[in-house]
């Protein structure tokens, strides 16, 4: 490596490996808080928001209302994701990620302090929706930015593995939220509904402080600073991404049309279905979900290792094909109402599909978009499908099961159709194994 390149890369005085480590930790801890917050909301939507914020609406209407507020956050995700992606590609990764972290954490804490419908009437769901919009806007930018920072800080030879760390952090956040919610759900039901459910939401502020400490220690990525010095930063990264990379954006969105609904059906809707429509013990269902989330962490890293050896597309394609094959068996296992089989179904639904896509897709998209529009390209690819079919998945699933008198087979068919779209999208994405990401490629 020449002295000029070395100066470009090691501009902070830190050892390159030290900067990489900080970038991975910084991106991962922010992802933990993002998915802690989002998972809490999903669990509360499935278990408590209907009676608390939609009293008198009836069981089905209340559940639909609660899941509708869940979906509202996803409507805000592409808006927040695209706005913050613009600034992330214009002014840098670090400052923008600090802002999104604070937005997410404060919104979640305030949700835990909201009065219920019995106290302030219609203002309760209105305020819930407002805070959900802020939560969604922050989340829409947070994970795309974390994917960008981790991927830009990784060497080419193991980028999918490194990108798997913020991907794995998703499930750390999910498991942490589910554990907290499972513990408070052991309280007597009247105390749980009165104030117990609020504890995990208010505790979010402590996790934000922890994440903020690590994120403040992260330097700007070498790839962005090199692009800035060379005058390659564009004033309209979103517009340029759409204009010059639409052939990547379309199949990239198709990939997430498959991947995102699966996680929200398994993570959120399955609790409502197995404990409401069916009679699985809620605590057993939550324990099964925690185990599934914890097992997804090593699977994500292993899939990253595999993608760094054989390519991104084979791993992604295997996950999408599994989605086609497993959709109907998943509900067959649910319908046994056997806690062990329900847990097995949750494990397969999360570990195989999400473990095979979340980190690998991060590396692939980072390698497909240049630095000046990387965050924007990832945000467009991920957050538009998140709004259209991700956050709406529990709502759609609830409506489909209600329309068939409690039968889940339309939901299974819906997941099969989305998985087929994912297969088509992956087919048209170029393989990016061994491809660099601008300046970071020089570090290898």
* 287 vs 175: CA distance, rounded Å: 10
* 248 vs 386: CA distance, rounded Å: 17
What average pLDDT does the segment 380-389 reach?
A: 88
**What Cα–Cα distance (Å) separates residue 213 from each residue in 53, 202, 206, 218, 332?**
34, 19, 11, 10, 45
Classify residue 10 by burial, with Cβ atoms within 10 Å: 0-12, 13-18, 19+.
middle
* 57 vs 316: CA distance, rounded Å: 42
Helices 59-90 and 123-152 sit at what angle, rounded to 10 degrees? 40
Whether 284 shows a pLDDT value over 80: the answer reads yes
Residue 441: the pLDDT is 38
pLDDT tens figures, 333-359: 999 999 999 999 999 999 999 999 988
Entry pTM: 0.81
Give the position of tokens 């996680």.
Answer: 263
pLDDT tens figures, 169-214: 888 887 888 788 878 888 887 888 788 888 888 888 888 888 888 8
DSSP per-residue letters across 266-328: IIIIHHHIIIIIS---HHHHHHHHHHHHHHHHHHHHHHHHHHHHH-HHHHHHHHHHHHHHHHH
């Amino acid at each position: 490596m020449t002295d000029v390149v070395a100066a470009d890369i090691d501009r902070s005085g830190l050892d390159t490996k030290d900067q990489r480590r900080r970038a991975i930790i910084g991106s991962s801890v922010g992802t933990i808080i993002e998915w802690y917050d989002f998972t809490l909301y999903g669990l509360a939507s499935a278990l408590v928001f209907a009676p608390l914020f939609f009293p008198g609406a009836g069981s089905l209407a209340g559940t639909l209302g609660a899941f509708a507020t869940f979906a509202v956050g996803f409507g805000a995700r592409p808006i927040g994701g695209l706005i913050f992606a613009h600034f992330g590609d214009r002014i840098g990764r670090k400052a923008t990620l600090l802002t999104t972290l604070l937005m997410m954490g404060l919104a979640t804490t305030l949700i835990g302090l909201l009065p219920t419908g019995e106290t302030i009437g219609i203002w309760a769901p209105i305020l819930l929706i407002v805070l959900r919009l802020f939560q969604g806007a922050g989340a829409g930018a947070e994970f795309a930015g974390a994917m960008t920072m981790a991927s830009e800080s990784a060497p080419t030879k193991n980028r999918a593995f490194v990108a798997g760390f913020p991907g794995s952090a998703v499930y750390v956040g999910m498991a942490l939220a589910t554990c907290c919610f499972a513990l408070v759900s052991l309280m007597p039901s009247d105390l749980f509904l009165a104030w117990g459910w609020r504890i995990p939401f208010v505790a979010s502020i402590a996790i934000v402080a922890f994440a903020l400490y690590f994120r403040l220690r992260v330097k700007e990525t070498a790839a962005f600073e090199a692009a800035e010095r060379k005058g390659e930063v564009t004033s309209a990264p979103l517009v340029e991404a759409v204009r010059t990379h639409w052939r990547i954006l379309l199949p990239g969105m198709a990939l997430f049309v498959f991947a995102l609904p699966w996680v929200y059906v398994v993570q959120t809707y399955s609790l409502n279905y197995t404990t409401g429509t069916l009679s699985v013990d809620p605590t057993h269902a939550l324990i099964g979900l925690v185990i599934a989330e914890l097992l997804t962490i090593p699977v994500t890293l292993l899939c990253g290792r595999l993608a760094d050896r054989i390519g991104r597309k084979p791993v992604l394609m295997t996950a999408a094909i599994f989605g086609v094959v497993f959709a109907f068996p998943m509900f067959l296992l649910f319908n046994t109402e056997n806690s062990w089989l329900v847990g097995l179904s949750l494990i397969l639904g999360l570990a195989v599909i999400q473990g095979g896509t979340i980190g690998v897709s991060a590396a692939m998209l980072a390698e497909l978009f240049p630095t000046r529009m990387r965050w924007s390209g990832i945000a467009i690819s991920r957050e538009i499908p998140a709004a259209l079919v991700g956050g709406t998945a529990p709502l759609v699933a609830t409506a489909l099961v209600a329309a068939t008198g409690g039968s889940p087979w339309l939901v299974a068919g819906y997941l099969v159709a989305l998985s087929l779209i994912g297969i088509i999208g992956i087919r048209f994405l170029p393989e990016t194994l061994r491809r660099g990401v601008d300046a970071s490629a020089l570090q290898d």
